[in-house]
């Protein structure tokens, strides 16, 4: 992010992630605890710097009076996902990129960096960034990001009902994944809209 120190960038990402996951910004005390500051005053100094640079707006009189200027934030790139953690948790976000394009069919909530070769027969290969919309209304044939217990995977949704889910890898060397949602933890994290690839 332009004109930010590493710590300011980390704090901005943390604020964004807390808002995404909890629906409200963190307090100064929570920021201080997260980054090991001795007091909330240290957090306040970083927040004032972010406010001065235009990345956030501070409202006085409330401990959670922080709002983010989204135009500066960029879209998060999620890398290796820590087991059991929310997908957009701060430890999973590698970086944020400015992306104002409308080349996809829907808005992009985040990019997920692909690991492995289980989807290579539909042109999704290791290292690709897949554009994800967080919507849940998916149908068979959609490529989805799914959470199975503590693991996150990208597969084609083949079958979905209350008693059985089938996720299909797009690589003949891999078998379908069958889940019983009544006995296993399962959730759709989002739908794949397309792929970005860097040839460098």
Active-site positions read: 118, 155
Mapping DSSP onto H, E and C, the string for the chain reads: CCCCCHHHHHHHHHHHHHHHHHCCCCCHHHHHHHHCCCCHHHHHHHHHHHHHCCCEEECCCCCCCEEECHHHHCEEEECCCCCCCCCCCHHHEEEEECCCCCCCCCCCCEEEECCCCCCHHHCCCCCCEEEEECCCCCCCCCEEEEEECCEEEEEEEEEECCCCEEEECCCCCCCCEEECCCCCCEEEEEEEEEEECCCC
CA 165 from centre of chain: 23
Tokens of 62: 């409330």
């Amino acid at each position: 992010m332009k004109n930010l120190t590493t710590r300011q960038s980390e704090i901005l990402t943390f604020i964004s992630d807390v808002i995404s996951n909890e629906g409200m910004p963190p307090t100064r005390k929570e920021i201080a605890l997260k980054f090991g500051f001795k007091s909330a005053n240290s957090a306040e100094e970083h927040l004032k710097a972010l406010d001065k640079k235009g990345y956030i707006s501070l409202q006085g009189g409330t401990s959670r009076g922080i709002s983010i200027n989204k135009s500066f934030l960029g879209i998060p790139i999620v890398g290796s996902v820590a087991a059991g953690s929310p997908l957009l948790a701060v430890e999973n976000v590698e970086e944020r990129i400015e992306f104002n394009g409308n080349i996809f069919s829907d808005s992009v909530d985040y990019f997920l960096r692909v690991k492995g070769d289980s989807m290579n027969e539909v042109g999704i290969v290791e290292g690709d960034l897949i554009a994800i919309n967080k919507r849940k209304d998916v149908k068979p044939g959609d490529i989805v990001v799914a959470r199975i217990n503590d693991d996150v995977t990208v597969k084609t949704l083949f079958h979905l009902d209350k008693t059985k889910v089938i996720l299909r890898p797009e690589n003949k060397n891999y078998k379908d994944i069958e889940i019983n949602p009544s006995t296993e933890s399962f959730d759709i994290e989002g739908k794949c809209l397309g792929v970005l690839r860097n040839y460098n």
